[in-house]
Amino acid sequence: MDLISLILCMLFVVLLIPTIISTVYHYYVLRRNLNNIPEYGSPFTVAFELMKMTEYERTLWFMQRMREFKDGIFINWIGLKPLINIYKPEFFKIILPSTVNIEKGFPYEMLNSWLGKGLLTSTGKQWNHDRKLIGPTFHFSILDQFALVMSEKAEILTKCLEKEIAKNPGKAINIFPFANNVALDVICETAMGVDVHAQEIKTEYTTTIHRGTKLIVERFFQPWLWSDWLYNLMSSGKEYKSVINIIHKFTRKVICQRKIARQLRNGSIKSKNVDDDLDIGKRKRKAFLDLLLDQNEKDETPLTDDELRAQVDTFMFEGHDTTAVAITWSLFLLGNNLEHQEKVHEELEEVFKDSKTPASVKELSQLKYLDRIIKESLRLFPSVPVITRKLTKDIKMDGYTLPKGVTVVLAIGLLHKNPEIWSHPNKFDPDRFLPDNSKYRNPYAYVPFSAGPRNCIGQKFALLEEKTILTAILRKWRVKSVETADTVPHGASLILRPCEDICIYFTPKE
């Protein structure tokens, strides 16, 4: 070995040994600080165990851990990373209202390339600023404007279903793609003011959104791809980068043309044909982007174009798949519980009688039983079954100490089926949400939209959309599911999506 090689080897050893010692010491201190919390398996065996499973098998695995660790807390390690899983309302009550421990941490960091520092992924002063800026855009009066879009898209959905039923008479229909496309139609027009016609035609943007979401889910369950530099070298990473570029280019184009349209209205520039194929500025009602631009002009520290893009992309990301799966699971459960579905039809007939006009917001507010159906569906199948917090301060709870720096997994899916809280947790029972049955329940026992300062800012929007679309469908058809809740596989990834087709029979109402 020549002198240079020897020096390089010695240098490598000198640099490597302190890193190894530091890692081992950090791991030792971490395990010592966590030794009073129940733990499942060893750090590396659990990671390999989960990696080999399907999404549905992972869901069953976590359900089994809940039955095994009845105190509402346990640790599983992914390599040297401890994940502290909690599913007890008293624990949620300590973490969710905190104004200090608001950092999402892992695995939300994987979304940064898509969503930047939007409301979902930002933290600290930036998050506080953005939340105050965006909050007014979800005022009740503005939701009424969005309701018109939802109603229009719901009518298109029923026409699409009619065509599918006519094409395949007597056959069950996979409802998830229809729910996905109507949700994408709604979110594109309400977020950006752009009609992408997702229910009628496939466009580059709509197919790209679907593909981007799928790639994120695939990466989430492949820990060796969590490193950005390695992921970017892989074919899936290169495809993801291409997908993100298409999405960002589309959103930037919309923002640019929206700004030009505003300047035209204000008379600050003179130009023609700026609206082109995106139909920018031709509709009178405002989109989320318009409202955000209104707020931005009043703000002392306005958002840059890239920051505006991050907020719009975040609204698109959070308000698309989540609502689609909520609609899908509600219809699926109604199709499995026909006695409850009959009560919904009775309520619809009482409110709408012989009317054929689309439902108004006032009429929707009268559908109290449908409200409870949606709530119970979100209990059994919460759209977002898991959220995380990276602790910036130590927390004490019920004799346990959770040190700063660790990731806490708030397992909403387990919380909603915890038998210590819910009797017969797998039973579909909308009456759990009658006022008399809810008043003594811990408010943190049911959190489908999270809670506290980082709760879902668009939850009223999502519930209004789901109610609008379910009403449009159920006013025309009775539904019956092919599978049951015990047999249909579903996976807890970013959202609680079905792992196979959700096939439903549609029977026209007389």
Q: Of 16-20, 111-115, 186-190, 379-383, give the range with the top mean pLDDT.
A: 379-383
Residue 49: the pLDDT is 81
Segment 47-65 mean pLDDT: 86
Asked if residue 23 belongs to a domain, the reply is no
Asked if residue 207 belongs to a domain, the reply is yes
Count of domains observed in the chain:
1
Residue 268: the pLDDT is 57
Residue 96: the pLDDT is 96
pLDDT exceeds 90 at position 134: no
Q: Is the peptide bond before 107 cis (omega within 30 degrees of 0)?
A: yes
Cβ-contact 498, 176 below 8 angstroms: yes
Smallest CA-to-CA distance from 21 within 9, 31, 13 is with 13
Residue 283: the pLDDT is 52
Angstrom distances, CA of residue 388 to CA of 103, 105, 112, 217, 368: 8, 7, 15, 16, 32
Smallest CA-to-CA distance from 285 within 197, 198, 189 is with 189
Asked if residue 61 belongs to a domain, the reply is yes
Residue 442: the pLDDT is 96
Query: What proportions of the chain, in percent to the nearest 5, are helix, strand and coil?
Result: 60, 10, 30
User: Any idea how long the chain is?
Assistant: 510
Asked if residue 405 belongs to a domain, the reply is yes
Segment 279-296 mean pLDDT: 73
Cβ-contact 457, 135 below 8 angstroms: yes
Residue 206: the pLDDT is 72
- Domain holding 112: CATH number? 1.10.630.10
Asked if residue 182 belongs to a domain, the reply is yes
Which of 168-172, 190-194, 205-209, 474-478 is predicted least confidently?
A: 205-209
For the chain, the average pLDDT equals: 88
What DSSP state is assigned to residue 53? S
Residue 204: the pLDDT is 79
**With bands split at pLDDT 50, 70 and 90, how would you rate the model's confidence at 280?**
very low
Question: In this predicted model, what pLDDT tens digit does every residue of 99-133 receive, in sequence order?
Answer: 999 998 877 888 899 999 899 989 888 899 888 88
| Tokens read off for 461 | 């929007």
Residue 25: the pLDDT is 61
Residue 282: the pLDDT is 45
Residue 281: the pLDDT is 43
439: containing domain: 43-508
List, in sequence order, every residue forming a beta bridge with 85; answer none if it has no partner: 74, 409
Amino acid identity, position 241: K
Q: How many percent of the chain have pLDDT more than 90?
A: 54
Question: In this predicted model, what pLDDT tens digit does every residue of 450-493 receive, in sequence order?
Answer: 999 999 999 999 999 999 999 999 999 999 999 999 899 998 66
Task: Output the pTM of the full model.
Answer: 0.90
Q: 378 or 131: whose pLDDT is higher?
A: 378
**With bands split at pLDDT 50, 70 and 90, how would you rate the model's confidence at 6?**
low
Residue 5: the pLDDT is 67
Distance CA 257, CA 275 (A): 7
125-150 exposure pattern, b = at least 16 Cβ within 10 A, e = fewer: eebeebeebbeebbeeebbeebbbbb
Asked if residue 18 belongs to a domain, the reply is no
Which of 26-40, 125-139, 168-182, 317-331 is predicted least confidently?
A: 26-40
Q: 276 or 383: whose pLDDT is higher?
A: 383
Angstrom distances, CA of residue 159 to CA of 131, 152, 155, 388, 472: 38, 11, 7, 40, 11
Asked if residue 239 belongs to a domain, the reply is yes
Cβ-contact 331, 504 below 8 angstroms: yes
**With bands split at pLDDT 50, 70 and 90, how would you rate the model's confidence at 217?**
confident
Distance CA 218, CA 402 (A): 30
Question: In this predicted model, what pLDDT tens digit does every residue of 304-344 receive, in sequence order?
Answer: 888 889 998 898 888 888 999 999 999 999 999 999 999 99
Asked if residue 15 belongs to a domain, the reply is no
Residue 232: the pLDDT is 92
